[in-house]
Amino acid sequence: MENNQQAQSSSYPPQAPAPPPPFHHLLQQQQQQLQMFWSYQRQEIEHVNDFKNHQLPLARIKKIMKADEDVRMISAEAPILFAKACELFILELTIRSWLHAEENKRRTLQKNDIAAAITRTDIFDFLVDIVPRDEIKDEAGLGGIVGTTASGVPYYYPPMGQPAGPPGGMIIGRPAVDPSGVYVQPPSQAWQSVWQTAAEDGSYGSGGNSGQGNLDGQS
């Protein structure tokens, strides 16, 4: 190796008596690279992170199921399914609650975000009773209806008497319209990330499709 400084300019010359400014600059560069490296690694890990780490305790799940006296015997496989279903459910609820927080420009998820998610989503209808009425308020005067779009089909809120956008109540993939002009990308990415992670993990098949179930918009 010659004293040739052309090679590997990013590594600082260990012995060269470099004057402070360039050295500092190189260090900064390195730090930046390191940061990028770790951020990428983290993304990779999260990307590959399948749901294994989140395993809800099966015994607890069983107890919850059996709190219903009607439920008697459960196969050994059932709690596994319930644990996973529960986790997926929480993911759904999280995303939708987060959307509401985003709409209101908050970086803290609050109870009323969850209330909003429940109110807006048909498949969460079974939760409607646990939401206190005073939680269902919209901040910033958004009202119950997002502005009508060109096609009149809202993304989030089913206005009175009109069905929600995609059938099935679960919106997977790209929303058809974008009421505010802001949320087209983030929601679809957020949705796709849930199912795509699964897809790329190899164990779940292709990502989710919309169009499941029947239309149940009149709630």
Closest contact distance (angstroms) between CB of 36 and another protein is 14
d(CA 166, CA 72): 37
Q: Which of 206, 176, 170 is nearest to 191 (CA)?
A: 170
> By CB under 8 A, is residue 122 in contact with another protein?
yes
Q: Are the C-beta atoms of residues 117 and 170 closer than 8 Å to each other?
A: no
Minimum distance between the CB of residue 162 and another protein, rounded to whole angstroms?
19
- Asked if residue 185 lies in contact with residue 141, where contact means CB atoms within 8 angstroms, the answer is no
Per-residue mark of binding to another protein, 57-96 (x: CB under 8 A)? xxxxxxxxx-xx-xxxxxxxxxxxxx-xxxxxxxx-xxx-
Stretch that binds another protein, among 24-32, 155-163, 176-184, 188-196 (CB under 8 A): 188-196
149 lines the binding site for another protein (CB under 8 A):
no
Neighbours of 67 (CB within 10 A): 8
27 binds another protein (CB under 8 A): no
**Binding pattern for the stretch 99-118 against another protein, x by CB under 8 A and - elsewhere:** --xx----xxxxx-xxx--x
Q: Which is nearer to another protein, 169 or 179 (CB)?
A: 169
Collect contacts of 71-75 with beta carbons under 8 A, ≥24 apart. none
Segment contacting another protein (CB under 8 A): 19-27, 139-147, 177-185, 187-195?
A: 187-195
Determine the straight-line distance between the first and last CA of the chain, rounded to whole angstroms. 75
Among 12, 23, 104, 123, binds another protein (CB under 8 A): 123
Query: 79 or 179, CB closer to another protein?
Result: 79
Cβ closer to another protein: 153 or 171?
Answer: 171
Task: Read off the tokens for 97.
Answer: 């609650």
Binding of residue 49 to another protein (CB under 8 A) = yes
Cα radius of gyration (the chain): 25
